[in-house]
Each structure stands twice: as C-alpha cells, then as structure tokens.
Structure 1
Amino acid sequence: MNHLAYRRDIDGLRAVAVIAVVLFHFGIPGFAGGFVGVDVFFVISGYLITSIICRERASGHFSFVAFWVRRARRILPALVVMVVACLVVGWFLLVPRDYEELGRSARYQAMFISNVLFARQDGYFDTDSELKPLLHTWSLAVEEQFYILLPLLLALLGRYVKAWRRGLLGIALVSLAVSLWQVQHASAQAFFLLPARAWELLAGSLLAVAPVFDRAVSSVVRHAVATAGIAAVAVAIACYDWQTAFPGMAALLPVLGTVAIIWSGSGQGTWLSRMLGTRPMVAVGLISYSWYLWHWPVHVFAEYAAVDGIAMHENLALMLCSLLLGYLSWRWVETPMRGRRWLAQPRQALLGALLAMVLVGLAGQSLRWSEGVPWRLSTQALGYANASQWHAGQRDCMFEAATAPERLICHFGPRGDEALPPLVWGDSHAAALIPALRVHSEHTGQALDLASSAGCIPVAGLERNALCRQFNAQVRRVIAQAPRRDVVLVARWTLYLYGDEHGDLTYRLPGPDTSAQMADALKREVQALRQGGSRVWLLDEVPLQSANAPYRLSRLAMLERPTQGVGRSLSEHRQRQAFMHALFAELAAGDPQVRILDTTRLFCADGITCVAEAAGHSLYMDDNHLGDDAARFVAPLFAPLLSPAKVTGQGNSH
C-alpha cells in the first residue's frame, strides 16, 4: 500500500493551531483571533485525508469501511471519554437547565450534528456560550460530516466527471460563495455549518490533488511563500476578534496562509518547516486533538465553580491542567486505539463505536427527559435556579401584532366607579412588574392597569419598529379617552441609550447622539401627558446585574457559598444610570406633578451593593428583568401612587 509520507512540520502546524485556540479561549491578551486555529485544523485535515484517499485509490487498496474505521479510531475514543467526563462533572456542578442542555449537546454530538444544534442557539461569541461544555465539538461535527461525504464525493467525481479536479474546485467555490452570503445574512449558520465551511477543508483537498504543486520550485520562492503564510495566520490570530465577520472573506487569510505553509514545507523544506518540525512543536502537535477536546470543558467548569471570575494566574494553571489531561488522553486513549491494541478487528471497532455513540446519546437524552435531574440540588439552589423563568403571567400581558384591542390593557385589583386607576406603560420591564402590581393591589385594594410590549420604549419618536409605533399609538388613544389619570413610564432606559453590556446594539437608538434623542423625546412625551391632564411617574431603571442572577445564586448555593449581599456595586449602577438620573431629576424639578419612583433606594439600601437576592429568593429572572419572587420586595415602590396629591391639569411644559 502506498502510504503518505510523515511530515513533522504538519504536526508542528497543529501545535500552532491548538495553542492559538487555547490561548483565545482562556482570554490571553494578543490572541483575540485565536479561533482561526480551527480553520488551520480544517485545511490540514482536508489535505491529509484527501492525500490518503487518493493514494489508496491510485494503488487500488481504498476501502470505504477501512477508511471510516480509521477515522472512528482517531476521533471517537477520546471524544467519548471527554463527553462522559463532562456528564459526570455536570452532575455535581450544573444547574438543571444547563445540565439538560449539556445532555442535549451530548445527544447531538452522538449523531455527529452538534454544530446544527449550536447554529440554532446562541452564537459562538455570545455570553451564554461560555456555559456550554461541549460547544467546541461543533468543529468535530463539521469534520465528521466531511469525512463521511468526501470519499463518496471523490468516488462520484472520479467516475462521472472527467475533469474531476475542476469539479472539486467548483464545489469549493460554491461553498465559499455560501459562506460569503451567510456571514452577512445568517451568521450562526455560516460559522457552524458544513456548507459554509466545506471550502476550508476543500482548500486542503485541492492542495493535495493539484498537479501544479508537484513541480520543482526554487528555495527562495518556498521561503517567501512560507513567510507569507505564517504571517497571514499570525495577523489573523492577533488582529481578528469577536466582532470580525467570520468566516466569509476574513477566513481567506488563515486558510490561504495554511495552504501556503503546507505547500512550502514539502520537498526541500524551509526555515518555517524546520522550526515547526522541532521536538517541542511536534510533541504538542501530537497531543493537539486531545488537548483541544479537554481545554474547553476545563475552562467552562472552572468558570462555573469560580462564579466571580478567574484571575490570570489561575487561567495559566487551568491551561496546564487541560494540557495534562490532553497528554493523558493521548497516551492512554488515543494511542492504544489508533495502534489497534483495543478492538483490533474492523467489525469490532465499528460495533464498539456505534455502541459508544448510542450510550452517549441515550445518556444525553435521559437528561432531557429528566429536565436536568433537578432533585440533585438543595431546596435553596433549586429555588434560585427556577427563578430563571417567569411563571406569573408576565408574557400574557405583552402586546404583539395579533393582540386584540380589548386585550391591550391588563387590569389588576377591583374595578370601581371612581377615577380610572394608574396605568403602567412600558417595555418588558413593565411586564416584569406584574407580580408586584398584584401584591400592591391585594394589600391596598387599589386597582392598577398595565400595557407592555417587549423592546418598546414608551416614548413617541423612539420606537424601533412598526409594532412599537402601533403599540404606543394605541396606548395614547386609551389615555386620551380618560386623560386625568396617573401614568407610570417604565423601560430599560439605558438599553436604548447604549445597547447592552455585552455589545448587542439591537435596541440602541440610531444615530451618534442617543442622549440628545432620549432627552428631547422624553420631554415631549411627558409634556404631552401633562397637557392632557395626567400625572406622570418615571420609574427609575431596575439596577442591572453583572451576571444572570438566578444562575449565579444557584451556583453559589450548589457550592455551599453564601448568597446574602450578592449583587452589583452601587457605584457601577450610578455610573451607567447617570444620564437618565439627571434627566429624570430635571423633569421632576420643573413640575411637581412629574414624580420619580426610585428603585435605587430600594435595591441599594446599604449604599454599597444593589442586591440580586432577598430573604433567600432571587429578585431577578436574568440580569435585568425582575422575577416572580421580587413581588413583595418591590411592591412598596408603588406606595407613592396612593399620595393624595391631585392632578393639576396642564402643569409646566419643558
């Protein structure tokens, strides 16, 4: 059989790829684009696998079964061990929702389609991705799908297409076109799915089969190409970051750089191939697969256990821990299976692989069926974890396109013949107040009304879409029909000013000066309400927490760490709210019938921390929306609405 000659420099290139990925994931400065290490792996895989298939086909020894058995021996044993270890660690560490999602990820990976699952969820760079121990298996799924399809593709092209290399090039160009389109219109699919990634693997395949590269080339040219190739990869690693539209056009840099490195290292070799072929680089390259498998779960579970973040020296220790686990996996799992010391016969290997995948899939599905095995948790930890969902009908009162006009307003408390009750009007933060409004009505006997629509700021001219304009217009018509009532304006005000703290600008007002837009529009809105005879209440934004409160609290409880006093510092809250506080103060100072409901005094009573929990309950359902258990804590906020002060008609205008 015509075997492919071993190249030490390619193992060294694997070391470059895995080091870039690991340093990126552990947040080491200078490696913000380290995720392109995966693209380097793709090109290497395409080159080696295609070279092996073509040589075996040329010698008449190629077998589909033998090829897939070798791939199974290479990939599955270490992968199965890692997944099982994650399921075991998750039992002791993960809250039910995350444990259930881990099981779901394991089931999809058992079917070689975890990339499909992650494409439907959060993006690779989203905050929630930091809590997915198997997120990194998306790239393995892409390679597994490629390994299944490539031999079939080469066989079909070789049989039915005379210029089969051009056919392979055409498929690669189509995949590149898909990537270029999807990165602009469906970024998650572009990042995770094979159609937009196949061209990277096929770039290696084309290098393996292109006859032009067999010709003699001068040493000067090879050195120049090697230098350009490693420079391209280095630039991508150093200069790309999570904001880079990727893969698409940006992926050409690391992909073509890798092609250049592999090509230049053949034959006489270059300075780069000699450096990549040194013993330390080759040693890291040999364990690169296992290190890649273990580094991400180590990082995720450490983040879970640390809760409050990980220091740089701890990060370095965790990287070394993952490297040790990678070595042990390579030494005791990868090597014995690849050397056929276990399950030596192809049939045994295939049956063993199938059985392992079935068992992993069933284990994952059982976690889905059991909803993450919630009885693992203490009563307190489970209570915190359950706070991550609304159960008090908050979504029932959110206006949508199909909402009937008579359901625009939700009513709480007894209806009487007296003046109309106060109206709470706003976005999803208004809906989050429903449990507190119910408690307030029950304790005081006072009726309250509410109108809310997610992502819709209750200010004319600032609406982000037609639905919000429709919602606000309908609420204004209701107010105009009976104008002399209290109106409470509620919103996550800073979301529209700055976007969220994770960089999502979806709800941010357009244009460069959002502060001026907010000030002008809110002043006009308040003036219009006052001229209609309404008394206006401005609800100060609920303090934004620095992390998902139920998750953080439940994880602390699972680790038997104290939860009292957990929250965000008052100084950080004031810094983010400074403009809105000043604007509210200006509006209230100019008119006694414009009042402020101050959440800061309630949540930040000690003058140090804006708390996320009280009396053993989470006050939030995420990092910004109040949860069900906040009802009694927040209800006193509405006591000023019982003030005997009367609405005085026109009032002052601004």
Structure 2
Amino acid sequence: MTHLAYRRDIDGLRAVAVIAVVLFHFGIPGFAGGFVGVDVFFVISGYLITSIICRERASGHFSFVEFWVRRARRILPALVVMVVACLIVGWFLLVPRDYEELGRSARYQAMFMSNVLFARQDGYFDTDSELKPLLHTWSLAVEEQFYILLPLLLAVLGRYVKAWRRGLFGIALASFAVSVWQVQQAPAQAFFLLPARAWELLAGSLLAVAPVFQRPLTVAVRQGVATAGIAAVGVAIACYDWRTAFPGMAALLPVLGTLAIIWSGAGQPTWLSRLLGTRPMVAVGLISYSWYLWHWPVHVFADYAAVDGIAGHENLALILGSLLLGYLSWRWVETPLRGRRWLAQPRQALLAALLAMVVVGLAGQSLRWSDGVPSRLSAQALAYAEAGEWHAGQRDCMFEKTTAPERLICHLGRQNKDVLPPLIWGDSHAAALMPALRVHSERTGQALDLASSAGCVPVAGLERNDLCRQFNAQVRSVIAQAPQRDVVLVARWTLYLYGDEHGDLTYRLPGTDAPVQMAEALKREVRALRQAGSRVWLLDEVPLQNANAPYRLSRLAMLQRSTDGIGRPLREHRQRQAFMQGLFAELAASDPQVRILDTTQLFCADGMTCVAESAGRSLYMDDNHLGDDAAGFVAPLFAPLLAPVDAPAPGNSH
C-alpha cells in the first residue's frame, strides 16, 4: 500500500469545517451559514479518498476489500458508540414518539441510508428536525454511499473509458445539474441525497486527478488563490442562512473555495496553509470527525431536557462538553481501531463492523416494533403523550374528495325530526370539537350536526381549492333546505390571515389584503345566513400554544417537572387575535342574532395565561387543535346554544 503525503493544512481545514457546523447548530451569531462546513468536508473527502485510490491503483496494490475495511475502521467505531449512547440516553429522556423515531433513524443509519429517511421527513432547517439526535448522520450516509461507489466507478471508467477524467467530470456535471434542478423542485431530496451531492465529493476527486501544471506558479498566485478560497468559504458561512436555496448554485461558493484552499496549499506553503497547519487548528482537525458525531446529540438532548430552550451561557458549556466528548471518542475509540490495535485482520474487522451494524439495526427496529417502549413512562407522562393523537373519530367526520353526499354531515346525539339541531361548520378545528360536542349533547339531550373539512374556511369566496368550494357549496345547500337553525362558524381564522407562526403560508389568503378579504367575505356570509333565517354563532379561535402541547407536557412529566400553568401568555393570544376579535365584535354589535362563543374566557380565565392542560390532561392534540381530553373542559362553551332564538345574546363581548 502507498501512503498519501500528510498535509497539516487539510486537517486545519477540517477544523474550520467542524467549527462552522458546531457554531451554526448551537445558534452562535455570525454562523448562520455554518452548515456549509459539511460541503467543505465533502470536498476534502473526495480529494483524499480519490488520491489514495489512484495511488494504490497505480502501484498495483489496490484492494476493494482493504479499502472498504479501512473506511469501516475510520467511520464505524465512533459512530456505533455514539448511536448506542443516544439509544441509552433516549430511554430515560425521549417520549415514545421520539424514541421510536430515534430507533428508526438508528436502523436506517445501520444500512447507511439515514439520508434517505430524513429526505422523506421534515427539511433540515425545520423545527421538528432540531429534536432528532441522529439527523447529522445524513452526511455520513452520503459519504458512506460515495465510498462504496467511487472505487467501482473509477475501476469501470479506467477500464472502459479512455478519457476517464472527462467521464468523471461529466458525472460530476450531471450531479450538479440534478442539484440545481432539485433545489427548486424537491429541496429535501437535493439537500439529503447522493445524486444531488455527489458533485461536491467528485469536485475533490477531480482535483486529485487533475494534471499537474508543468510550469510552477508564482507564490503570489498561490497566495491570491488561497485568499480567494478562504474568503469564499467565509462569506458562505457568514451570509447564508436557512432561507438560502441549498445546495444548487449556492453550494458553488464553499465548494470552489475549498478546492482553491486545497490546491493552493500543495507545494510551496501560503499564509493560509501555515495558519491552518498550526498546532491548535491541526488538533481540532484531528478530532473533527468525533466532535461532529457528538456535538449534535449533545445539543438535541440538552434542548430536549430544557423544554423551553437553552440560555447563551449554557450553549458555551454544551459546546465545550461536546468537544470533550469528541476528544475522548477520538482518543479511546477512533484512534485504537483505526490504528489496528484491535481487530488487526481485515476479515475480523469487516465481520465486526457488519455485526455492529446488525446489532444497531435490530436495536433500532425493536424500538419501532415496541412503539418507543411507552412502558418506560409514568402514567402522567404517558397520558400526555397519548394526547398527541385523535382517537374519538374526529378524522372520520372530515369531508374529503371521496366523501359521499350523505356523509357530509355528522349527526351527534339523539335526532328529533321536529327540531333543527345546531350546525357546526368549519375546518379541522370544527372536527376537533367532536368530543366536546358529544359531551354537550349527552349532558343536555340536544342533538348537534357537524360539517368539517381540513383547511377549508367556512366562508364563500375564500376557498383555496376546488375541494373547499365543493364542501362549502354542499353545506350551504343543506342549510338552504332547512333554514332557521343555529349555525356555528368555526375556523383557525388567523391561519388564513397570516399563515402559521413557523412561516408556512400555505393557507394564507392570496394577495396583500388578507384582512380586508376576510372582513368583506365574512360579512357577506353572515348576512346570507341571517337572511335565510339562521342565528349565527362565531366561535372565537382556540388560543394557539407556543409549542406542541402534549409533546411539551409529556417531556416535562418525564423530567418530573411541574406542568401547572403551562400555556401561552394571554397578551400574545390577544395580539394575534386582535383583528378577528374586532371583526366578530363588529358583526355581533350590528345584529343581536349574531353571537360570539368566547374561548378566551374559558381558556384564559386567570387573565394571564391561556392554559394548555387541565386536571393533568392535555387540552390540545398539537399546538392548535383541541384533543380528546378537552371534551369536558370545552363542552360548557356551547351552553348558549340552548337559549331561545329571541333570548338576549350572552357572551357578545370580549
């Protein structure tokens, strides 16, 4: 086997990459684009691995098995230890849903396919992704896939393609084209999957096999290239953020910058190669892989335990703690196995690696089979966790494309042909009321009708698609056939005005005048219902919570922390609901038969907090939909529906 000459500056460049990634993940200002550190790693890997393969092939000593065994020694020991540690910590910390997902991630990583899993789920920058302890293994999966394919690719090109370097360049160019196209059409696939990332690794490969210049370049040229390279990487780290369409064209900056740094550092040293080759930079570079492995689980588990976020000084302690874990992993796991102190024979090492992957995969799959082992949780924590799903038939009542006309309306309670039951009409927030409506019906003997369709505001002219137009038209037809009934309009009103609070604008009304559209259309709808003889009730939107309520509550319960008073400040609720509450008040003031069902008085009774739980039960299924356990709490809200049509309007003011 031939050895590649060691370059201290490349280890220093690894330090730049890992520091950028770590500081980005811990939210340190100035590193919003630190995720490009992974791209720096990709280019370095492509350059070094291709250099090694080509040198060994040229000397006639290349062996596929030996190559893959060396990669296994380099990657798997520290990775397996980290994954096992995550599974152990998760046992004590994670709610069943998250523990099951951790097991799923472990199983996919054991198959070198975790990037495929994450590409199917939330995006890399989405909030939910911040609580996945193995999310960072996506980049390792990309490299592992590349390491499997690259020697085969070089063997095929070297044997069957005369101009094999051009062939390699063509493959890299095709991958880049895929990246540019997918970043717009399928951004998750572009970010996570090898076809859109291979060009970054192959860029390093092409540098490794590029013809050597016959005329030596001047020091000034190398210094200029080095400066331009580090500037390009630095600009990407400082100026990119989660809004950058990445990788695609944007990835050219860190990739070309990394190529420039590696190229300029060969031969005569530059100011940058000297800086990167200093002892502190090399030291960090040597442990960069292990630090990368450990920093993200440390961040995730700490954030998970904190529930409400990590303070700035705590971040610094966590960064240093992850660095210490990285050093210990490098010193006692990575180095001994990489240096063949253990399992010296290739066959032994390969079998051990396969066995470790099988064990990790089976452990992960067992968590999937056991639904995250809910028996680990206390009764209270489990009750909160189970509130994260609907079990009372709410989804069965929601109108869809295949819904038969006769199933448009869900009838609750004992029907009386001589009495028109109130009709609750709205989006998924109407469906979420089903358990409470059932309790109300059982307590009062009053029948109720429910019509709901997800994402469909019950107002003519505001429908976002044909399904919503069809749904609303059919409900209006039902009302026209049996007028003079109470009609309750229910929706997550602010979703259509502003989008959700995480920046998703999917449901927001088009244009820049959403409040004007809402006001005009709702006034028309109410006027039409009143002209048909119906008494109209406007259900004030259920207070939104700042986080997924059952998720947050179950995590607090697992940590044996109090859940009393958990909720959203009333002032935040009023601020978001100000426009709709004003509009409702205006409509109610203009007609005594237009009335308000005020959720604020119910959920925010202490005048300070809009509660997320009551009597040890989560009132929510997520951060905005009511859950099964809210039934008894919410049922009294509908008591005014029993009032005679000509009775004074209760609850018409906030």
TM-score by length of 2: 0.98
2:596 matched to 1:587? no
Map of 2:53 onto structure 1:
53
Map of 1:652 onto structure 2:
none
The answer (yes or no) to whether the contact 1:593–1:647 under 8 Å persists in 2 is no
The answer (yes or no) to whether the contact 2:619–2:629 under 8 Å persists in 1 is yes
> Compared with structure 1, are the counterparts of its residues 397 and 263 closer, same or farther at alpha carbon in structure 2 (3 Å cutoff)?
same
Give CA deviations for 1:406-463 in whole Å, capped at 9, x if unaligned: 1111110111122311111111111100000100000000011111111111111211
The answer (yes or no) to whether the contact 2:540–2:597 under 8 Å persists in 1 is yes
Give CA deviations for 1:154-210 in whole Å, capped at 9, x if unaligned: 000000000101101111111111111111111111111101110111111111111
2:313 aligned partner, one-letter code:
H
Q: Residues 596-635 of structure 1: matches in 2 within 5 Å?
A: 596-635=596-635
Map of 1:245 onto structure 2:
245
2:458 matched to 1:458? yes
Q: Quote the Cα distance in structure 1 between the aligned partners of 2:592 and 2:353.
A: 75
Q: Residues 21-32 of structure 1: matches in 2 within 5 Å?
A: 21-32=21-32
1:65 aligned partner, one-letter code:
V
Map of 1:11 onto structure 2:
11
Instruction: State which drifts further: 310-319 or 511-520.
Output: 511-520
Q: Residues 21-420 of structure 1: matches in 2 within 5 Å?
A: 21-211=21-211, 216-420=216-420
1:387 aligned partner, one-letter code:
A
SS at match of 1:634: helix
Q: CA deviation at 1:584?
A: 1.0
SS at match of 1:592: coil
Give CA deviations for 1:355-389 in whole Å, capped at 9, x if unaligned: 10000011111111111111110000000000001
Q: CA deviation at 1:393?
A: 0.4
2:173 aligned partner, one-letter code:
L
2:503 matched to 1:503? yes
Map of 2:530 onto structure 1:
530
2:28 matched to 1:20? no
SS at match of 1:496: helix
The answer (yes or no) to whether the contact 1:35–1:237 under 8 Å persists in 2 is yes
Instruction: State which drifts further: 11-20 or 78-87.
Output: 11-20
1:642 aligned partner, one-letter code:
L
Q: Quote the Cα distance in structure 2 between the aligned partners of 1:276 and 1:517.
A: 59
The answer (yes or no) to whether the contact 2:426–2:452 under 8 Å persists in 1 is yes
The answer (yes or no) to whether the contact 1:461–1:521 under 8 Å persists in 2 is yes
Extract unaligned runs of 5+ from structure 1: 649-654
How many residues are matched? 648
Q: Quote the Cα distance in structure 2 between the aligned partners of 1:455 and 1:270.
A: 59
SS at match of 1:149: helix
Instruction: State which drifts further: 296-305 or 516-525.
Output: 516-525
The answer (yes or no) to whether the contact 2:535–2:645 under 8 Å persists in 1 is no
Map of 1:519 onto structure 2:
519
The answer (yes or no) to whether the contact 1:15–1:285 under 8 Å persists in 2 is yes
Q: Quote the Cα distance in structure 1 between the aligned partners of 2:324 and 2:304.
A: 21
SS at match of 1:479: helix
Q: Residues 464-475 of structure 1: matches in 2 within 5 Å?
A: 464-475=464-475
Give CA deviations for 1:574-618 in whole Å, capped at 9, x if unaligned: 111111111111111111111111111100000111100000000
Q: CA deviation at 1:302?
A: 0.5
Q: Quote the Cα distance in structure 1 between the aligned partners of 2:397 and 2:469.
A: 17
> Compared with structure 1, are the counterparts of its residues 191 and 212 closer, same or farther at alpha carbon in structure 2 (3 Å cutoff)?
same
Give CA deviations for 1:256-276 in whole Å, capped at 9, x if unaligned: 111111111111121111111
Q: Quote the Cα distance in structure 1 between the aligned partners of 2:179 and 2:200.
A: 10
Map of 1:651 onto structure 2:
none
Q: Residues 527-606 of structure 1: matches in 2 within 5 Å?
A: 527-606=527-606
The CA RMSD measured in Å over matched residues stands at 1.2
2:117 aligned partner, one-letter code:
L
Report sequence identity in percent: 87
Q: Quote the Cα distance in structure 2 between the aligned partners of 1:639 and 1:299.
A: 48
1:74 aligned partner, one-letter code:
R
2:443 matched to 1:431? no
TM-score by length of 1: 0.98
2:460 aligned partner, one-letter code:
A
1:580 aligned partner, one-letter code:
M
SS at match of 1:610: strand
Q: CA deviation at 1:2?
A: 3.1
The answer (yes or no) to whether the contact 1:530–1:536 under 8 Å persists in 2 is yes
Q: Quote the Cα distance in structure 2 between the aligned partners of 1:484 and 1:224.
A: 81
> Compared with structure 1, are the counterparts of its residues 215 and 17 closer, same or farther at alpha carbon in structure 2 (3 Å cutoff)?
farther
2:509 aligned partner, one-letter code:
L
> Compared with structure 1, are the counterparts of its residues 213 and 149 closer, same or farther at alpha carbon in structure 2 (3 Å cutoff)?
farther
Extract unaligned runs of 5+ from structure 2: 649-654
Instruction: State which drifts further: 513-522 or 50-59.
Output: 513-522
Q: Quote the Cα distance in structure 1 between the aligned partners of 2:515 and 2:270.
A: 57
Give CA deviations for 1:3-40 in whole Å, capped at 9, x if unaligned: 21111111111111111111111111111111111111
Q: CA deviation at 1:647?
A: 9.6
The answer (yes or no) to whether the contact 1:485–1:647 under 8 Å persists in 2 is no
Map of 2:447 onto structure 1:
447
Q: Quote the Cα distance in structure 1 between the aligned partners of 2:593 and 2:216.
A: 87
SS at match of 1:451: strand
Q: CA deviation at 1:212?
A: 5.1
1:391 aligned partner, one-letter code:
H
> Compared with structure 1, are the counterparts of its residues 397 and 213 closer, same or farther at alpha carbon in structure 2 (3 Å cutoff)?
farther
1:152 aligned partner, one-letter code:
L
Q: Quote the Cα distance in structure 2 between the aligned partners of 1:308 and 1:373.
A: 25
Q: Quote the Cα distance in structure 1 between the aligned partners of 2:273 and 2:215.
A: 19
The answer (yes or no) to whether the contact 2:100–2:367 under 8 Å persists in 1 is yes
Q: CA deviation at 1:213?
A: 5.3
Q: CA deviation at 1:480?
A: 1.3
Q: Quote the Cα distance in structure 2 between the aligned partners of 1:231 and 1:584.
A: 56
SS at match of 1:487: strand
SS at match of 2:421: coil
Q: CA deviation at 1:309?
A: 1.1
> Compared with structure 1, are the counterparts of its residues 451 and 251 closer, same or farther at alpha carbon in structure 2 (3 Å cutoff)?
same
Q: Quote the Cα distance in structure 2 between the aligned partners of 1:218 and 1:557.
A: 66
2:632 aligned partner, one-letter code:
R
Map of 1:636 onto structure 2:
636
Q: Quote the Cα distance in structure 2 between the aligned partners of 1:5 and 1:566.
A: 59
Q: Quote the Cα distance in structure 2 between the aligned partners of 1:215 and 1:206.
A: 20
The answer (yes or no) to whether the contact 1:535–1:647 under 8 Å persists in 2 is no
Q: Quote the Cα distance in structure 2 between the aligned partners of 1:235 and 1:516.
A: 42
SS at match of 1:211: coil
The answer (yes or no) to whether the contact 2:98–2:372 under 8 Å persists in 1 is yes
Q: CA deviation at 1:524?
A: 1.5
